[in-house]
Amino acid sequence: MIEDLSQEEWAEQLASDDNAVILDVRTDAEVSEGIIPNAIHIDFYKGQDFINEVEALDKSKNYYLYCRSGNRSGQACQIMEQLGFENAYNLEGGMLQWTGDIVDID
C-alpha cells in the first residue's frame, strides 16, 4: 500500500508499527537542521544512487517517508512501489508541519 498520511495518521501508525523504517529523503543541508529520530537518510536528488540505495533495503519492512514538504517523499514512495516495496507511507506536509521530535544528526 502506497499512501499519503496526515501528520497525525503517520505518527500514530508509525508508533504502533513494529516493522517500521523511517526514511528521510531530504538533502544533506536539510538534514543538518535536524532529523526525525531513528530515520535513515537517503537523498532523493542523488538520482540513480538513490534508487540503488533504496533497492538494497529490506522489502518486507513498512517504510515511512518524509521530506521538507511531502513532494519528494511522495515521488519516492512511487519509485519504491515500482521497485517492489509493498508498504510505503508519505508524510503529508513534511517537516514544514512536523511537530514531533527532531534530533541533531551526528
Residues acting as catalytic residues: 67
Residues linked to residue 41 through DSSP beta bridges, in sequence order: 24
Q: Collapse the DSSP code of 21 into the 3-class scheme (helix H, G, I; strand E, B; otherwise coil) and give the result.
A: strand
CA distance 39 to 91: 13
Q: Collapse the DSSP code of 36 into the 3-class scheme (helix H, G, I; strand E, B; otherwise coil) and give the result.
A: coil
